[in-house]
Structure 1
Amino acid sequence: MTRPLLHLTPTTGWMNDPNGLTQVDGVHHLFFQHNPDAPTFGVMRWGHATSTDLVHWTEHPTALTSRPGAADAGGCWSGCAVRLADGRTAVLYTGVQPPELGGPQRAAAVRAVASDASLVAWQVDDEPVIADWPTLDPPLTDWRDHAVLPLGGDGGDGDGGQGLLQVVAAGTAGHDGAGRLLAYTSSDPELRAWTYDGVFLDAAAAGLDAHVFECPDVFTADGGELVVVLSWYSKDADAELHHSSGALWLTGRLEQDDDGGARRAGAARFVPQRRGVLDLGSRFYAPQSYTAQDGRRIAFGWLRTQDDPAIVGRSSVGAQSLPRRWSVVGRRLHQTPTAEITDLAGDVVVGELPQPVRALVVRLEVDGGASLVEGSLVLVGPDGHRTSVDLAVFARSTTDVLVDGTWTPEASQVEWAEVYVDTGIVEVFTSDGRAAASSDLALTAVAAVEVTGPVRASVRLLTP
């Protein structure tokens, strides 16, 4: 099997959500949902990989695994990393009981602390830090995944001096608009004591009919804008999960809720003002981000390569996206590949490719008045296999602003796009900060690049 050069994939087995992203002593740590036993979904563990340059990755032994009789006996599911006051790294993750043991409320928040700065060995608490679900109407059927925001701080991964806000995703299967993000707060420096504060964001405020929210990510961008990223889906019994799912970003502000009721007086809730689709492709889901030591906000997302027909018979399934730098420009979330990736590009290739290559970037530009979506891009493999890169998705507006309670589309104009190709995985980044990921794993190398329409293309090879 030919593995990508720039996208992290597991040596064997199944990979999905990125978890516990952090940087310690210059080393980037990427944990991920992992079933090392087979290239299929199963009882989840936390895989672990590290990199000093976001390009070359070293895979380590399983970091977290289920414990018989414990809160995570049915698996160690998605969560986040938090830096403790003394510099140690802790993670909060969702532990799941097997259905026959836990009944309908079988998920809990579990804390583990790394034994040292390598983050290889972990000490897991015997008892969960959140064991009970709140009572909502309709009753929750899903509760999982964790993000932590320091209150009064700079949006990093530690305590900002005014305690911590934990956001947990939830929802009710079969009920349109029942997706929820729930708020918990803590002043405990060890992250063991949490108070439920109410609904942080509901599906109606996000403009979604989602049954369930997943994989929240919450941070404060430069300039103070609050960013909330979430994944969502509707549990339609007649459709596969990814046919009615996606990832969304929202920017807005925190408001103090003093009206009592089901919420604690003074509790914070998120009031969104803008939103946008995080990725216009068919593969990207469950992203998570972290603040690197140089201040950049870096994100990864799960690329669902199991949807690609060419995955059949392979020993590993799933990949992480390229590392993306997230920033807020004009209250919109912008995405670009990190400098570590863009710096791999060599000089522009003049004429045809001298030989088939596995990794390259194609920059597409148009003349004034023309539209990028009027053109086409086709990648041709050495065996003649042809992959079309869908530029038409960028014709539609994917950013909305809330005006008088109604989500109203904002126009967006794409002036150029950069198409990163890596052993059949394609990620497109545009001038307006949007992105789209796809995969055609039958394209293990590119022998030729074809463009039509009012599009000029320049090709650079990517050399890790």
Structure 2
Amino acid sequence: MSWGQASSTDLLYWQRETTILTSPRPSYETAGAWSGNAVIGGLLAYSCTRWSNSKGIDSSLCLASTDGIRSKKNPVLQTPAQATGGWRDPAPFQEGNSTFLAFGASLGPRRGAVLLTSFPQVKHIVQPLFTVPRIRGAPDMIECPDVAWLDENVVVLKLSIMANRSQRHDLFILGLLERNTENSPVFTPLNKSRNLPRCGGIRPDWEVAVGALRLDCGDLYASQSFKLMPNQQLIYMGWIKDQDTNELYNGALSFPRHLFFQDDRLFYSFLPNLSKLRTDERLASLHRSTTADESLLVISELPSSRRLEIAIYDFRFRRQGTPSHFVLDLPGRRIEATLNFDVNAAVISVYDACEMRVVFTNDNDQNLTIRILIDGSLVEWDIGDGLSACSHRSYRTLINKNSTPAARLSSSSSSLRNIKMCAWRLSA
């Protein structure tokens, strides 16, 4: 295993730095290791998940170190008896003056939990912090847990439900951390009777009785929190399901999101510096002209073998169910299409709350797909009332900004206003 690092001044563009931990790896990592921490509770430390050669399931190890050197004597934590299907992904968090590590675990068929150990005394496992009694999918694992304080009383517990690849998603639970009679932390969810959100009318039954919130209709996965200095904003970043690949969660990261607690509800917003993506010189060939009735996107070229993806933001509906007319101008030809945006209480109501797809046919009878991604820049989390947030990923440009514009997408419908093109890319 090698530990790499990257630096960023805006959490949008990242620079790869020198690898900080390399081989040779000790014998307990020969089968692979991941999900590590280098600093825990202010101490130089090392913790990770590793494959167990003897049992074929994952286990964990952790140590405190003063020099950053690992050895074959580094402690491997004994797998708790209740973690019959393995445990993984140690995540540190503070509670008062104490430091803990939270682990995701499988407790057997359809049951998972978040387990705790204290740090740096890591020899004993504390009782489960939280148990999920009903899960479907294999291997019934809760992974990548995260515990973060929203204010001095309320925490958000994040669980990653490891169902099959197409159904993996994060659940966020608001609650309180209290001490039991043994002085161990216990997580108590708030609003346990809250209905679970739906996306396109689908409600998977492996989410029953969790009382949790979702982001991006489940497209966000394995997200982790950190505090952004100097104002201590709570920031989340995670994997975004990438529909363009069969890997789904391989290499596509979400934009950073700021979480905050207000009026007993959880909200998030994207960082203000995301506006840099709309003005960055690398997007100089993206020309916008926004009026009450028209939004247009100008690009340099549109090969028939490529798909154009467009993200729009800052939208408002004038009336429900009114068709929106979109026009794609190609050299020597104009292609038109009409989109019907169905809205419910001014909220988009489609199977995927985050996108609409339109397929045009070019002169060679080949399909040219335009995907319109709808960006709800400040949207309440989906708490069962129909409000949903949307997926976001980084859009790369393949267009030379000095090229001659040759295509335009425009909307002249009266049903949509204040449409602005936010980001786009051409992909093979």
- Normalising by the smaller structure, the TM-score range is 0.5 to 0.7
* Kept after mapping to 2: 8 A contact 1:92/1:111: yes
Displacement, 1:213? Answer: 0.4
Say if 2:317 is the partner of 1:366: yes
Report if the CA contact (8 A) 2:311-2:375 is conserved.
no
1:302 matched to 2:235? The reply is: no
Amino acid in the other structure paired with 2:8: S
Q: How many angstroms does 1:124 deviate by?
A: 3.6
Describe the superposition over 1:299-318 as per-residue Cα deviations: whole angstroms up to 9, x where unpaired.
Answer: 1111233x425989xxx952
User: Residue 53 of structure 1 corresponds to which residue in structure 2?
Assistant: 10
Kindly tell me the number of residue pairs found equivalent between the two proteins.
351
What runs of 5+ residues in structure 2 fail to find an aligned partner? 192-210, 280-286, 301-307, 356-369, 382-387, 400-406
Aligned counterpart, 2:273: 340
CA positional deviation for 1:64: 4.4
Bigger shift: 211-220 or 431-440?
431-440
Equivalent pair of 1:167/1:183 in contact (CA under 8 Å): yes
Asked if 1:272 corresponds to 2:168, the answer is: no
1:170 aligns with 2:125: no
Q: Report SS of the residue matched to 2:267.
A: strand
Higher radius of gyration, 1 or 2: 2
Q: State the match for 1:10 in structure 2.
A: none
Which residue of structure 2 lines up, in the alignment, with residue 328 of structure 1? 261
Query: Residues 160-239 of structure 1 correspond to what in structure 2 (within 5 A)?
Result: 162-172=97-107, 175-176=109-110, 178-186=111-119, 191=120, 193-204=122-133, 208-209=135-136, 211-234=140-163
Take 2:70 and 2:372, find their aligned partners in 1: how far apart are those partners?
36
Distance in 2 (CA, whole Å) between partners of 1:272 and 1:75 is 35
Q: Give 3-state SS (helix, strand or coil) of 1:251's partner.
A: strand
Structure 2 matches for 1:301-450, cutoff 5 A?
301-305=238-242, 307-309=243-245, 317-346=250-279, 349-350=289-290, 351-355=295-299, 361-367=312-318, 414=347, 428-429=375-376, 430-433=378-381, 434-437=388-391, 447-448=408-409, 450=411
**1:303 maps to amino acid:** I
Match of 2:51 among 89, 96, 108: 96
Aligned to 2:50, the other structure's residue is in SS state: strand
Match of 2:220 among 251, 270, 284: 284
Structure 1 SS opposite 2:190: strand
Question: Is 1:424–1:442's contact at 8 Å kept on the other side of the alignment?
Answer: no
C-alpha distance 308-461 of structure 1, shift in aligned 2 (>3 A): closer
1:75 maps to 32
Structure 1 residue identity aligned to 2:389: A
Q: Would you say the 8 A contact 1:79–1:92 is kept in 2?
A: yes
Amino acid at match of 1:267: S
* Contact 1:250–1:272, Cα closer than 8 Å, also in 2: yes
Q: State the SS of the aligned residue for 2:7.
A: strand
Contact 1:355 1:447 in 2 (8 A): yes
Distance in structure 1 (CA, Å) of the matches to 2:24 and 2:336 = 47
Inter-CA distance 197–447: structure 2 relative to 1 (3 Å threshold): farther
Question: How far apart, CA to CA, are the structure 1 residues paired with 2:127 and 2:149?
Answer: 20
Report percent identity of matched pairs: 20
Deviation of the 1:141 alpha carbon: 0.9
> What is the CA distance between 1:449 and its match in structure 2?
5.3
SS in 1 for 2:77: coil
Query: 2: distance between equivalents of 1:349 and 1:385?
Result: 20
Contact 2:26 2:71 in 1 (8 A): no
What amino acid does structure 1 have at the position aligned with 2:269? T
Please say if residues 425 and 439 of structure 1, whose CA atoms lie closer than 8 Å, have aligned partners that are also in contact. Answer: no
After superposition, the C-alpha distances for 1:264-302 in whole angstroms (9 at most, x for unaligned) are: x22111111144443234642110110111211111111
Preserved contact between residue 203 and residue 209 of structure 1 (Cα < 8 Å): no
Which secondary structure state, in structure 1, belongs to the residue aligned with residue 274 of structure 2?
A: helix
Paired with 1:431 and 1:377, the residues of 2 have a C-alpha distance of 26
Q: CA deviation at 1:167?
A: 0.8
Q: For the residues of structure 2 that align with 1:224 and 1:362, how far apart are their CA atoms?
A: 34
> 1:426, 1:114 → 2: CA distance?
48
Give the Å deviation of 1:181. 0.4
Deviations 1:372-408 (A, max 9, x none): x98779897979999999987x97xxxxxxxxxxxxx
The alpha-carbon distance between structure 1 residues 439 and 81, as it changes in their structure 2 partners (threshold 3 A), is: same
The offset of 1:113, in angstroms, is: 6.5
TM-score, length-normalised on structure 1? 0.61
Amino acid of the residue matched to residue 172 of structure 2? W
Contact 1:108 1:128 in 2 (8 A): no
Matched, 1:133 2:87: no
Structure 1 regions of 5+ residues with no counterpart?
1-43, 116-121, 153-161, 235-240, 259-264, 396-411
Q: 1:255 to 1:48 in 2, by over 3 A?
A: same
Instruction: Tell me the distance in 1 between the aligned counterparts of 2:396 and 2:346.
Output: 32
Structure 1 pair 360–70 and aligned structure 2 pair: CA distance change class (3 A): same
Tell me: CA distance 1:440–1:167, structure 2 relative to 1, closer, same or farther (3 Å): closer
Q: Give the distance between the partners of 1:46 and 1:426, measured in 2 at CA.
A: 34
Residue identity in the other structure for 1:300: M
Shift of residue 105 of structure 1? Answer: 5.1
Q: 1: distance between equivalents of 2:253 and 2:340?
A: 21
Mapped contact 1:72–1:96 kept (Cα < 8 A): yes
Assess, with a 3 A threshold, how the Cα gap between structure 1 residues 181 and 310 changes in structure 2: closer, same or farther. Answer: closer
Distance 2:19 2:315 in 1: 41
Indicate conservation of the 8 Å contact 2:170/2:215, yes or no. yes
Could you tell me how far 1:254 is from its partner in structure 2? 1.6
Query: Counterparts of 2:420 and 2:155 in 1: how far apart (Å)?
Result: 37
1:5-56: CA deviation from partner (whole Å, max 9, x where unpaired): xxxxxxxxxxxxxxxxxxxxxxxxxxxxxxxxxxxxxxx6544221122122
What RMSD, in angstroms, separates the aligned Cα atoms of the two structures? 4.6
